[in-house]
Chains A and B, each alone.
Chain A
Amino acid sequence: MSTVLLKADKITKEFPGVKALDSIDFELRKGELHCLVGENGAGKTTFIKVLYGAYPDYEGQIVLDGEDVRITHPLQAQELGIAAIQQHRDLVPTLSGSENIFLGMERTKGIFVDEKAQYERAREVVDRFDKTIDLNIPVQYLKVAEQEIIAIAKALVRKHQILILDEATAPLDRNERQILFDVLKEMKREDDVGIIFISHHIGELFEIGDRVTVFKDGMLVATEDIEKVDVNEVIRLMIGEEERKRYQKQKVERGEKLLNIANLTVPGLIKGVSLNVRRGEIVGVAGRLGANKSIVAEVIFGLREKSQGEIIFNGGLLDVKHPRDAIRKGIGLLPIDRRDEGLILCRNVSENVILAWLNKVKKAFLSILFLNIKTKEYVDKLAIKTTSLSQRVEYLSGGNQQKVVMSKWLNANSDLLILLEPTEGIDVQTRWDIYSILEELARSGKGILLISSDLEEIVAVSDRVYVMREGEIVDEVTGKGIEYRNIFEKSISGDNHKEKKRSEA
Chain B
Amino acid sequence: MTLSSILQTITGFFRKHMLIVVYIVLAIFMMILTDGFFNSFNIAAILGLGSIMGFLVLGESLVILTGGIDLSVGRIASFSGVVAAWVMLKFQSVLPQSVIIVLVIVFGILSGAFIGFINGISVAKLNIPPLIATLGGMGIAYGLAEFIFSGIPTRLEIKAFSTAVRLKVLNIFPLSSIIFIIFAIALSIYLWKVKSGRYIYAVGGSQEAAFLSGVKTDKVLIWTYVMSGILSAVGGLLLAGWMRVGDARAGGGYEFIAITAVVMAGFSLFGGVGNIWDAVIGIMTLQTIRKIIPHLRISTFFEEGIVGGILLIAVMISVVSVRRMHTIRGN
Task: Tell me if chain B binds chain A.
Answer: yes
A-to-B contact residues, CB < 8 Å: 74-75, 78, 89-95, 99-100, 103-106, 108, 111-113, 115, 140-141, 154, 268-269, 292, 294-295
Taking CB atoms, residues of chain A closer than 8 Å to B212 are: 74-75, 78, 89-90
Pairwise interchain contact B195-A113, C-beta atoms closer than 8 A: yes
A113→B201 CA distance, assembly (Å): 14
Q: Is B171 an interface residue (CB 8 A)?
A: no
A103→B273 CA distance, assembly (Å): 17
Taking CB atoms, residues of chain B closer than 8 Å to A95 are: 201-202, 205, 272
How far in angstroms is the closest Cβ of chain B from A302? 15
The interface residues of chain B, by DSSP majority, are classed as: helix
Restricting to B164-212, which residues have a CB under 8 Å from any CB of A?
193-195, 198, 201-202, 204-206, 208-212
Taking CB atoms, residues of chain B closer than 8 Å to A269 are: 330-331
Which one of A111, A141, A268 contacts B194 once the chains associate, using CB atoms below 8 Å? A111
Which one of B194, B209, B325 contacts A90 once the chains associate, using CB atoms below 8 Å? B209
A93→B209 CA distance, assembly (Å): 9
Given A75-B212, A92-B206, do A140 and B201 touch, yes or no (CB 8 Å)? Answer: no
Closest to A99 in B: B198
How far in angstroms is the closest Cβ of chain A from B214? 4
Pairwise interchain contact B209-A141, C-beta atoms closer than 8 A: no
Closest to A154 in B: B213
Pairwise interchain contact A112-B214, C-beta atoms closer than 8 A: no
A154→B212 CA distance, assembly (Å): 12
The interface residues of chain A, by DSSP majority, are classed as: mixed
Q: Is B328 an interface residue (CB 8 A)?
A: yes
Q: Is B329 an interface residue (CB 8 A)?
A: yes
Pairwise interchain contact B331-A91, C-beta atoms closer than 8 A: no
Closest to A88 in B: B209
Total A-B residue contacts, Cβ distance less than 8 Å: 81
Q: How many residues of B contact A (CB 8 A)?
A: 26
Pairwise interchain contact B213-A112, C-beta atoms closer than 8 A: no
Pairwise interchain contact B205-A94, C-beta atoms closer than 8 A: yes
A408→B254 CA distance, assembly (Å): 48
A-B contact pairs, 9 of them (CB 8 A): A90-B209, A92-B202, A92-B205, A92-B213, A94-B205, A106-B198, A112-B193, A140-B329, A294-B331
Taking CB atoms, residues of chain A closer than 8 Å to B273 are: 94
Which one of A75, A100, A268 contacts B211 once the chains associate, using CB atoms below 8 Å? A75
A-contact 0/1 string along B272-287, CB 8 Å cutoff? 1100000000000000
Pairwise interchain contact A112-B194, C-beta atoms closer than 8 A: yes
- Closest 3 A/B residue pairs (Cβ): A94-B272, A104-B214, A94-B205
Q: Is B89 an interface residue (CB 8 A)?
A: no
Taking CB atoms, residues of chain B closer than 8 Å to A100 are: 209, 213
Closest to B272 in A: A94
A268→B329 CA distance, assembly (Å): 9
Q: Is B215 an interface residue (CB 8 A)?
A: yes
A103→B201 CA distance, assembly (Å): 11
A94→B212 CA distance, assembly (Å): 16
A294→B210 CA distance, assembly (Å): 29
A292→B331 CA distance, assembly (Å): 7
How far in angstroms is the closest Cβ of chain B from A362? 36
Taking CB atoms, residues of chain A closer than 8 Å to B193 are: 111-113, 115
Pairwise interchain contact A103-B195, C-beta atoms closer than 8 A: no
A294→B331 CA distance, assembly (Å): 8
Taking CB atoms, residues of chain A closer than 8 Å to B215 are: 103-104
Given A99-B198, A104-B215, do A141 and B206 touch, yes or no (CB 8 Å)? Answer: no
Taking CB atoms, residues of chain A closer than 8 Å to B213 are: 90, 92, 100, 103-105, 154
Pairwise interchain contact A75-B214, C-beta atoms closer than 8 A: yes
Restricting to B94-108, which residues have a CB under 8 Å from any CB of A?
none
Taking CB atoms, residues of chain A closer than 8 Å to B271 are: 94
Taking CB atoms, residues of chain B closer than 8 Å to A103 are: 202, 209-210, 213-215
Taking CB atoms, residues of chain B closer than 8 Å to A78 are: 212, 214
Pairwise interchain contact A93-B214, C-beta atoms closer than 8 A: no
